[in-house]
Protein backbone atom coordinates (compact mmCIF):
# COMPACT_ATOMS: atom_id res chain seq x y z
CA UNK A 1 0.00 0.00 0.00
CA UNK A 2 1.96 2.97 -1.30
CA UNK A 3 1.21 6.64 -0.71
CA UNK A 4 3.00 8.74 -3.34
CA UNK A 5 3.27 12.50 -3.69
CA UNK A 6 3.41 13.50 -7.37
CA UNK A 7 4.88 16.82 -8.59
CA UNK A 8 4.76 18.34 -12.07
CA UNK A 9 6.03 21.84 -12.92
CA UNK A 10 7.37 21.19 -16.42
CA UNK A 11 4.79 23.25 -18.32
CA UNK A 12 2.21 26.02 -18.00
CA UNK A 13 0.04 24.22 -15.45
CA UNK A 14 1.86 23.23 -12.30
CA UNK A 15 0.23 20.51 -10.22
CA UNK A 16 0.66 18.25 -7.22
CA UNK A 17 -1.31 15.14 -6.39
CA UNK A 18 -1.43 12.42 -3.78
CA UNK A 19 -2.06 8.86 -4.86
CA UNK A 20 -2.67 5.79 -2.72
CA UNK A 21 -2.43 2.33 -4.23
CA UNK A 22 -2.74 3.86 -7.69
CA UNK A 23 -5.86 5.90 -6.86
CA UNK A 24 -6.11 9.69 -6.65
CA UNK A 25 -6.74 11.11 -3.19
CA UNK A 26 -6.44 14.80 -4.03
CA UNK A 27 -4.86 17.22 -6.51
CA UNK A 28 -4.09 20.94 -6.71
CA UNK A 29 -3.21 22.84 -9.89
CA UNK A 30 -1.70 26.24 -10.67
CA UNK A 31 -1.72 28.09 -14.01
CA UNK A 32 0.80 30.92 -13.42
CA UNK A 33 3.92 29.34 -14.91
CA UNK A 34 6.27 32.10 -13.74
CA UNK A 35 5.19 31.56 -10.13
CA UNK A 36 5.52 27.77 -9.85
CA UNK A 37 8.44 28.18 -7.44
CA UNK A 38 6.47 30.41 -5.09
CA UNK A 39 3.36 28.21 -5.27
CA UNK A 40 4.80 24.72 -4.98
CA UNK A 41 5.87 24.44 -1.33
CA UNK A 42 2.56 25.68 0.08
CA UNK A 43 0.69 23.51 -2.42
CA UNK A 44 2.50 20.38 -1.24
CA UNK A 45 1.46 21.02 2.35
CA UNK A 46 -2.10 21.84 1.32
CA UNK A 47 -2.63 18.80 -0.93
CA UNK A 48 -1.39 16.47 1.79
CA UNK A 49 -3.72 18.06 4.34
CA UNK A 50 -6.68 17.84 1.97
CA UNK A 51 -5.86 14.20 1.23
CA UNK A 52 -5.65 13.42 4.95
CA UNK A 53 -2.02 12.36 4.61
CA UNK A 54 0.86 13.34 6.89
CA UNK A 55 4.41 13.82 5.61
CA UNK A 56 5.37 10.73 7.61
CA UNK A 57 2.79 8.69 5.65
CA UNK A 58 4.49 9.32 2.29
CA UNK A 59 6.23 6.27 0.82
CA UNK A 60 7.82 8.03 -2.18
CA UNK A 61 7.98 11.33 -4.04
CA UNK A 62 7.51 11.30 -7.82
CA UNK A 63 8.45 14.19 -10.10
CA UNK A 64 8.46 14.88 -13.81
CA UNK A 65 12.08 15.46 -14.77
CA UNK A 66 11.49 16.92 -18.22
CA UNK A 67 11.68 17.70 -21.01
CA UNK A 68 9.83 20.98 -20.73
CA UNK A 69 10.41 24.37 -19.16
CA UNK A 70 14.01 24.52 -17.95
CA UNK A 71 13.07 26.60 -14.91
CA UNK A 72 10.01 24.49 -14.14
CA UNK A 73 12.01 21.26 -14.32
CA UNK A 74 14.56 22.60 -11.83
CA UNK A 75 11.84 23.84 -9.46
CA UNK A 76 10.08 20.47 -9.34
CA UNK A 77 13.21 18.35 -9.15
CA UNK A 78 14.80 20.46 -6.40
CA UNK A 79 11.64 20.24 -4.29
CA UNK A 80 11.32 16.49 -4.83
CA UNK A 81 14.96 15.88 -3.95
CA UNK A 82 14.75 18.01 -0.83
CA UNK A 83 11.62 16.24 0.41
CA UNK A 84 12.96 12.78 -0.37
CA UNK A 85 16.20 13.54 1.45
CA UNK A 86 14.47 15.06 4.49
CA UNK A 87 11.91 12.24 4.77
CA UNK A 88 14.41 9.52 3.85
CA UNK A 89 12.07 8.28 1.14
CA UNK A 90 12.82 7.19 -2.46
CA UNK A 91 12.34 9.54 -5.40
CA UNK A 92 10.78 8.54 -8.69
CA UNK A 93 11.67 10.53 -11.81
CA UNK A 94 9.29 10.37 -14.77
CA UNK A 95 9.98 11.43 -18.35
CA UNK A 96 7.35 14.00 -19.38
CA UNK A 97 6.92 12.55 -22.87
CA UNK A 98 6.30 9.06 -21.48
CA UNK A 99 3.80 10.57 -19.07
CA UNK A 100 1.99 12.29 -21.95
CA UNK A 101 1.80 9.07 -23.96
CA UNK A 102 0.55 7.12 -20.96
CA UNK A 103 -2.10 9.78 -20.31
CA UNK A 104 -3.44 9.36 -23.84
CA UNK A 105 -3.52 5.58 -23.44
CA UNK A 106 -5.57 5.88 -20.25
CA UNK A 107 -7.76 8.97 -20.76
CA UNK A 108 -8.07 9.61 -24.49
CA UNK A 109 -9.05 6.11 -25.55
CA UNK A 110 -11.58 7.42 -28.11
CA UNK A 111 -8.62 8.50 -30.23
CA UNK A 112 -6.94 5.08 -30.16
CA UNK A 113 -8.64 2.82 -32.67
CA UNK A 114 -6.87 -0.52 -32.67
CA UNK A 115 -3.28 -1.48 -31.97
CA UNK A 116 -1.82 0.18 -35.05
CA UNK A 117 -1.90 3.74 -33.67
CA UNK A 118 1.42 5.35 -32.81
CA UNK A 119 1.42 7.96 -30.06
CA UNK A 120 3.54 11.03 -30.73
CA UNK A 121 3.74 13.51 -27.82
CA UNK A 122 5.35 16.84 -28.72
CA UNK A 123 6.48 19.72 -26.52
CA UNK A 124 7.14 23.04 -28.24
CA UNK A 125 10.79 24.08 -28.18
CA UNK A 126 10.27 27.02 -30.63
CA UNK A 127 11.52 27.60 -34.20
CA UNK A 128 9.75 24.46 -35.49
CA UNK A 129 11.71 22.37 -33.00
CA UNK A 130 10.07 20.06 -30.49
CA UNK A 131 10.92 17.51 -27.87
CA UNK A 132 9.18 14.35 -28.96
CA UNK A 133 9.07 10.58 -28.96
CA UNK A 134 6.94 7.98 -30.70
CA UNK A 135 5.39 5.08 -28.79
CA UNK A 136 3.23 2.10 -29.54
CA UNK A 137 -0.07 1.71 -27.68
CA UNK A 138 1.58 -0.88 -25.41
CA UNK A 139 4.29 1.56 -24.41
CA UNK A 140 7.09 0.31 -26.66
CA UNK A 141 9.45 3.02 -27.92
CA UNK A 142 9.37 3.52 -31.69
CA UNK A 143 11.41 6.74 -31.69
CA UNK A 144 13.58 7.54 -28.68
CA UNK A 145 12.77 10.78 -26.89
CA UNK A 146 14.80 13.79 -27.99
CA UNK A 147 14.80 17.17 -29.72
CA UNK A 148 13.68 17.16 -33.34
CA UNK A 149 13.42 19.80 -36.06
CA UNK A 150 10.04 19.00 -37.57
CA UNK A 151 10.91 20.04 -41.10
CA UNK A 152 13.68 17.41 -41.11
CA UNK A 153 11.48 14.46 -40.16
CA UNK A 154 9.84 12.11 -42.65
CA UNK A 155 6.85 10.95 -40.61
CA UNK A 156 5.58 8.84 -43.49
CA UNK A 157 8.24 6.21 -42.82
CA UNK A 158 6.48 5.39 -39.54
CA UNK A 159 3.16 4.76 -41.27
CA UNK A 160 4.24 1.19 -42.03
CA UNK A 161 3.87 0.60 -38.28
CA UNK A 162 0.59 2.49 -37.91
CA UNK A 163 -1.16 5.85 -38.14
CA UNK A 164 0.18 8.71 -36.04
CA UNK A 165 -1.60 10.53 -33.23
CA UNK A 166 0.10 13.87 -32.45
CA UNK A 167 -0.59 15.74 -29.21
CA UNK A 168 0.95 18.31 -26.88
CA UNK A 169 1.97 21.95 -27.24
CA UNK A 170 4.22 21.20 -30.21
CA UNK A 171 1.46 19.38 -32.08
CA UNK A 172 -0.99 22.23 -31.48
CA UNK A 173 1.48 24.86 -32.68
CA UNK A 174 2.91 23.07 -35.73
CA UNK A 175 -0.12 21.06 -36.90
CA UNK A 176 0.14 22.65 -40.36
CA UNK A 177 3.24 20.51 -40.95
CA UNK A 178 1.27 17.28 -40.71
CA UNK A 179 -1.12 17.83 -43.62
CA UNK A 180 0.68 15.29 -45.82
CA UNK A 181 0.79 12.62 -43.12
CA UNK A 182 -1.91 10.08 -42.35
CA UNK A 183 -2.47 11.32 -38.85
CA UNK A 184 -4.69 12.99 -36.28
CA UNK A 185 -3.85 15.96 -34.07
CA UNK A 186 -5.42 15.65 -30.64
CA UNK A 187 -6.02 19.34 -29.93
CA UNK A 188 -6.45 20.65 -26.41
CA UNK A 189 -4.53 17.77 -24.81
CA UNK A 190 -3.79 18.36 -21.12
CA UNK A 191 -2.12 16.40 -18.35
CA UNK A 192 -1.52 17.04 -14.65
CA UNK A 193 0.07 15.36 -11.65
CA UNK A 194 -2.96 13.09 -11.26
CA UNK A 195 -1.90 11.45 -14.52
CA UNK A 196 1.44 10.57 -12.92
CA UNK A 197 -0.19 8.19 -10.45
CA UNK A 198 -0.35 5.17 -12.76
CA UNK A 199 3.36 5.41 -13.65
CA UNK A 200 4.61 6.34 -10.18
CA UNK A 201 2.73 3.41 -8.63
CA UNK A 202 4.23 0.98 -11.16
CA UNK A 203 7.71 2.44 -10.69
CA UNK A 204 7.34 2.12 -6.93
CA UNK A 205 6.35 -1.53 -7.17
CA UNK A 206 9.32 -2.20 -9.45
CA UNK A 207 11.61 -0.18 -7.14
CA UNK A 208 12.58 1.98 -10.09
CA UNK A 209 13.99 4.82 -8.04
CA UNK A 210 16.20 7.74 -9.04
CA UNK A 211 19.53 8.47 -7.38
CA UNK A 212 18.96 11.50 -5.16
CA UNK A 213 22.46 12.84 -5.59
CA UNK A 214 23.22 12.02 -9.22
CA UNK A 215 19.86 12.22 -11.00
CA UNK A 216 19.67 15.07 -13.50
CA UNK A 217 16.85 16.77 -15.43
CA UNK A 218 15.84 15.31 -18.78
CA UNK A 219 16.66 18.46 -20.70
CA UNK A 220 17.35 16.35 -23.84
CA UNK A 221 19.25 19.23 -25.42
CA UNK A 222 21.90 21.76 -24.50
CA UNK A 223 21.35 25.33 -23.48
CA UNK A 224 22.00 27.89 -26.23
CA UNK A 225 22.84 31.54 -25.76
CA UNK A 226 22.17 33.90 -28.66
CA UNK A 227 23.83 37.28 -29.02
CA UNK A 228 22.10 40.20 -30.73
CA UNK A 229 24.54 39.91 -33.66
CA UNK A 230 24.15 36.17 -34.21
Q: What is the pLDDT of residue 126?
A: 85
For the segment 199-211, the average pLDDT, to the nearest whole number, is 97
For the segment 163-189, the average pLDDT, to the nearest whole number, is 87
| pLDDT at 229 exceeding the cut of 90 | no
Q: How far is CA 118 from CA 6, 66, 115, 143, 206, in A?
A: 27, 21, 8, 10, 26
The sign of the torsion formed by the CA atoms of 173, 179, 180, 184 equals: positive
Per-residue pLDDT of 61-104, as tens digits, reads: 999 999 998 889 999 999 999 999 999 999 999 999 999 999 99
The sign of the torsion formed by the CA atoms of 188, 192, 195, 199 equals: positive
Which pTM does this prediction carry?
0.90
Q: What is the pLDDT of residue 220?
A: 65
Tell me the C-alpha distance between 67 and 72, whole Å.
10
| Domains of the chain in sequence order | 3-95+192-205 (3.30.420.40), 109-186 (3.30.420.40)
Amino acid sequence: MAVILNIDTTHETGSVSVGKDGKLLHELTHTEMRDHAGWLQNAIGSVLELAGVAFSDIDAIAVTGGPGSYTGIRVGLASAKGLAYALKKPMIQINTLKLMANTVRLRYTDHIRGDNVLLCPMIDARREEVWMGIYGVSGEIILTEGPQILTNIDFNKYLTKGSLLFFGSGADKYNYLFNSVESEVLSGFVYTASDMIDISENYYKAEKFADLFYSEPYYLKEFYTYSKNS
